[in-house]
Structure 1
Amino acid sequence: MNFSFSLKVYCIVSKGSRMRKRSGAFPVNRPKSRGEKRMANKKKDKVLILTGAFGEGHLQAARAIEQAMKIRSPKADPVVVDFMEWVHPTLFPVSHYVYMKGIEKFPNLYGYLYRKTYGRNALSKTLTGLFSTGMRKTLRMLETIRPSVIVSTYPFASSMISKLKEYGLTDIPLVTVITDHTHHSSWLHPYTDHYVVGSHMLRRQLIRLGIPGRKISCTGIPIKPSFLKPVNKQALYKKYGLDPALPAVLVMGGGEGLFGDGLFTAEKLDEVPFRMQLLIVCGHNEKLRARLMDDLKGTKHKVFVLGYIDYVRDLMAVSDVMITKPGGVTTAEALAMELPMILYKALPGQEEDNAAFLTQAGAAVEAADEGTLIRCLARLNENRAQLAKMKRNTLSIQNREAAFRVLSVIDQAKYARLIHASDPEMPDTAHGKYARMRKKALLVHHPHESLDERSGTVWKSSSGY
């Protein structure tokens, strides 16, 4: 009797276990089918964010959008890709080194080329074409990631995607985020679906160039969501060992620390007629950091020399003024923290344009050399009313929520694609190697369709699917 009862119980439990396994109640160690993989991929909507390490600002803006998306759009899956590293992995380290050294050693040549290519002309098209090679690798990237929308914070990535759209190789919406307070021909391309800009002034400039206003959104330059958090200055003073009684001056040279060899010496700094605490951020420039730590020994000021850090917001919160290169993202962060700026040694090109925008708005002053810089520091320390006015002026051109506002633009571009399945501006034909590439792209996204390579027309296959 007991044996019969035990056997029945065993059979019931065993059968239930098998049923639960089949229904997914218990994990089953087996490889996923193709259908399950496709369903898993469809759970999150991939957003490709293309950027470039040629200047820290492009990467910082991309990371800001990524972080904002993870906070506000949990159904989206942001994928940040360094465009140059993906497309030219072998050439990337060399080209990056040459670019950074070229700006440092030959700034006037860089400025000359920048001005010569400011508008659309033969030279700007040649340079854009030179930096926008690698169509096959870019197409392979799109096939691998399969995004619903592409966001670009790097001008030559925007150029490449626009070119792919021109040849009919993709119809994925392209949103270009301009990371400076100015425009340049390298940012502007005919198959860009939407532009995100940092100011109403820049929006008006693009409209004057013939870009429809409906394609331009003024959100501000994207900065990390951490800049929205409230700050406790007293706690930060204690955390970083700062003296609340001394004026705090933050010195930033951008992610690469490009102040060069003419920065401060102890002798020069001691000419400042008041004692201050200097927070010097050298970025990735370790040689500069080591030299400054040695050169600034013995100064009357309290000096902190730092490398690349991730708590810039905290230092901005406790600072009275910031000395910086006028990069787009760094200055946007300062505006968000209502921090007056002294713009030091602006490079010819977009930095000069950024400096002009910020000084006209009354949020910054310029210093072309060390002498002028010291006089600016002394004047602002003596004239606290001017410093307070500069602080108020930041409010008119700041936007702390820029990264989150960009998300709305991304969603609009995505939904516009769903509503208008085929863009009327997309070319219907492509010739030569681009026709073959287009065929491959269409078959990847529409596997049950065939393409007439000669005419470029698409029809349903006769297989009955």
Structure 2
Amino acid sequence: MSVREKDKILILSATFGDGHKQVAKAISEAVNSCSANLEPITIDVMQWLHPYLNPVINYFYKMVIKKFPNIYGYFYQKTKKRNSFSDKLDVLFSSDMDTMLDILKRVNPKVVVSTYPFAASIISKLKEQRLIDIPVVTIITDYTNHSYWMHPFTDQYLVGSEQVKASLIASGVESDKIKCTGIPIMQKFAHKEPREQLALKYSLNPKQLTVLVMGGGDGFIGKGLKTFKAFEKLEVPIQLIIICGRNNKLQKQLSEVLSDSKHKVLLLGYSENVHELMAISDLLISKPGGVTITEAMAMELPLLIYHPLPGQEAGNADYLMDLELAMLCENEIDVINKIQQIMNNSFQLDSIKHRTKLFPAKNSSIDAVDVILQTSFNGRE
């Protein structure tokens, strides 16, 4: 008896920031858990289309974000609404349609899912030219909208909030093409292990205030060493978990600077166990990336936003602040003052934790896959 070939779901992502890749991983995981007859295939679009240029572009992207954030913010705002300038950049970043068409022919997917805006652009253009007729789903990976996410031949948009849905509708997208599923996250963030058990695993005190500090996959944490030196000003020792990501230089520097700290410090590089570290923590200090925000809300972990970058991070911060789901700090002095206030009175922390329960994010990846499969079914009718 012949074995039926699995239907393919092609997930297009990119490594510009960690969020697009994490959402792609979450969708792939959810597809595997939903059906044994489906095969998720994830492709880094930039790596496939521009294998030699991609490392250079990625390097300059990180340098601009780190050294010249205002320049990035300027281009983000300049292209937020579609105009002639944004169209020119879109053409530049969504080139090489022939290679993408070749990929689609080889994979022959039942549906294409884009977690990266320029991938969505390429697929939309291929559909516009009637070179493909595959259903296309775009997942917006932040709590704010941008013109690069919107393309006329997209069949379905998955968004993280009703605010983003309203923004898409105001920009001309039909409401029935938008589903508010939440930003997809890995299923390990849907459950919390007992705090006492995790404290034993990481040699921490389950009854002591624990602050988790994250800076994204590349470890861009505020202003670096200056931020962490300020923690010594706290009146009472706390527990600090610091994830430096791939920033080995920062991790080495911090190991020296914090070697005689009054606080219990757990210093880590890139970690696959962020869900455990969130579960044991009372407060998260982080960049407001869309995925990080969603993971924290799923874990009911209050967030202290520190120095958001111009662009989508600023938009994500605005979203959280409008709904009173986070606290905002502009400098290291403000960070210390906020933590000291929490140590003196946990009311604000408890209030944020309570409000996160009103924004369920635990099943976002499963809900997203349900919509993706329904879109695939409708597109083949």
Task: Give the TM-score range, shorter chain.
Answer: over 0.9
State the Cα distance separating 1:264 from its structure 2 match. Answer: 4.3
Residue 14 of structure 1 aligns with which residue? none
Q: Does 1:341 align with 2:289?
A: no
State the Cα distance separating 1:262 from its structure 2 match. Answer: 3.5
Counterparts of 1:371 and 1:401, CA distance in 2: 37
Matches within 5 A, 1:358-369: 358-369=320-331
State the Cα distance separating 1:227 from its structure 2 match. Answer: 1.3
Q: Select the residue among 298, 301, 305 that pairs with 2:263.
A: 301
Residue 85 of structure 2 aligns with which residue? 123
- Equivalent position SS for 2:347: helix
Q: Does 1:144 align with 2:103?
A: no
Q: 279-288 vs 375-384, which deviates more?
A: 375-384
Residue 411 of structure 1 aligns with which residue? 373
- Equivalent position SS for 1:374: helix
* 2:136–2:155 contact (8 Å) kept in structure 1: yes
State the Cα distance separating 1:417 from its structure 2 match. Answer: 1.6
* TM-score, length basis structure 1: 0.80
Structure 1: unaligned runs, 5 residues or longer? 1-23, 25-38, 420-465
Residue 325 of structure 1 aligns with which residue? 287
Superposed CA deviations along residues 78-105 of structure 1, whole A, max 9, x for unmatched, are 0010010011111111111011111111
State the Cα distance separating 1:148 from its structure 2 match. Answer: 0.8
Counterparts of 2:222 and 2:191, CA distance in 1: 33
Matches within 5 A, 1:84-123: 84-123=46-85
Q: Select the residue among 33, 37, 55 that pairs with 1:71.
A: 33
| Structure index of larger Rg | 1
Counterparts of 2:279 and 2:224, CA distance in 1: 27
Superposed CA deviations along residues 97-121 of structure 1, whole A, max 9, x for unmatched, are 0111111111001001101111010
Q: Does 1:292 align with 2:246?
A: no
* 2:192–2:276 contact (8 Å) kept in structure 1: no
Q: Which amino acid aligns with 1:166?
A: E
Q: Does 1:208 align with 2:170?
A: yes
Q: Which amino acid aligns with 1:150?
A: V
Q: Which amino acid aligns with 1:398?
A: P
* 2:218–2:245 contact (8 Å) kept in structure 1: yes
Q: Which amino acid aligns with 1:69?
A: V
Residue 248 of structure 1 aligns with which residue? 210
Counterparts of 1:318 and 1:261, CA distance in 2: 25
- Equivalent position SS for 1:64: helix
Matches within 5 A, 1:2-401: 43-259=5-221, 261-264=223-226, 267-401=229-363
Counterparts of 2:101 and 2:14, CA distance in 1: 17
* 2:211–2:285 contact (8 Å) kept in structure 1: yes
Q: 321-330 vs 221-230, which deviates more?
A: 221-230
State the Cα distance separating 1:346 from its structure 2 match. Answer: 0.2
* 1:65–1:406 contact (8 Å) kept in structure 2: yes
Number of positions where the alignment pairs a residue of Structure 1 with one of Structure 2: 381
Counterparts of 2:20 and 2:228, CA distance in 1: 34
* 1:199–1:397 contact (8 Å) kept in structure 2: no
> Taking structure 1 as reference, are residues 150 and 369 closer, same or farther at Cα in structure 2, changes over 3 Å only?
same
State the Cα distance separating 1:245 from its structure 2 match. Answer: 2.6
* 1:266–1:297 contact (8 Å) kept in structure 2: no
Counterparts of 2:295 and 2:120, CA distance in 1: 24
State the Cα distance separating 1:230 from its structure 2 match. Answer: 4.0
* 1:263–1:370 contact (8 Å) kept in structure 2: no
* RMSD between superposed Cα atoms in Å: 1.3
State the Cα distance separating 1:266 from its structure 2 match. Answer: 6.2
Superposed CA deviations along residues 8-53 of structure 1, whole A, max 9, x for unmatched, are xxxxxxxxxxxxxxxx8xxxxxxxxxxxxxx75x521100000000
Counterparts of 2:35 and 2:111, CA distance in 1: 14
- Equivalent position SS for 1:270: helix
- Of structures 1 and 2, the one with the larger relative CO (CA 8 A, separation 6+) is 2
- Equivalent position SS for 1:196: strand
Q: Which amino acid aligns with 2:38?
A: A
* 1:104–1:258 contact (8 Å) kept in structure 2: yes
- Structure 1: which 4+ aligned runs deviate by more than 6 Å? none
* 2:8–2:39 contact (8 Å) kept in structure 1: yes
Residue 428 of structure 1 aligns with which residue? none
Q: Which amino acid aligns with 1:136?
A: D
State the Cα distance separating 1:265 from its structure 2 match. Answer: 6.0
Q: Which amino acid aligns with 1:219?
A: T
State the Cα distance separating 1:381 from its structure 2 match. Answer: 1.9
Counterparts of 1:264 and 1:235, CA distance in 2: 33
- Equivalent position SS for 1:396: coil
Q: Which amino acid aligns with 1:282?
A: C
* 1:265–1:296 contact (8 Å) kept in structure 2: no
> Taking structure 1 as reference, are residues 267 and 190 closer, same or farther at Cα in structure 2, changes over 3 Å only?
closer
- Equivalent position SS for 1:365: strand
> Taking structure 1 as reference, are residues 100 and 60 closer, same or farther at Cα in structure 2, changes over 3 Å only?
same
Matches within 5 A, 1:428-443: none
Superposed CA deviations along residues 208-254 of structure 1, whole A, max 9, x for unmatched, are 21111110000000000111234211111101111123100000001
> Taking structure 1 as reference, are residues 334 and 265 closer, same or farther at Cα in structure 2, changes over 3 Å only?
closer
> Taking structure 1 as reference, are residues 376 and 170 closer, same or farther at Cα in structure 2, changes over 3 Å only?
same
- Equivalent position SS for 1:111: helix
Superposed CA deviations along residues 328-375 of structure 1, whole A, max 9, x for unmatched, are 001100000000010011000000000010111111011111111111
- Equivalent position SS for 2:158: strand
Counterparts of 2:250 and 2:269, CA distance in 1: 9
Counterparts of 1:372 and 1:261, CA distance in 2: 13
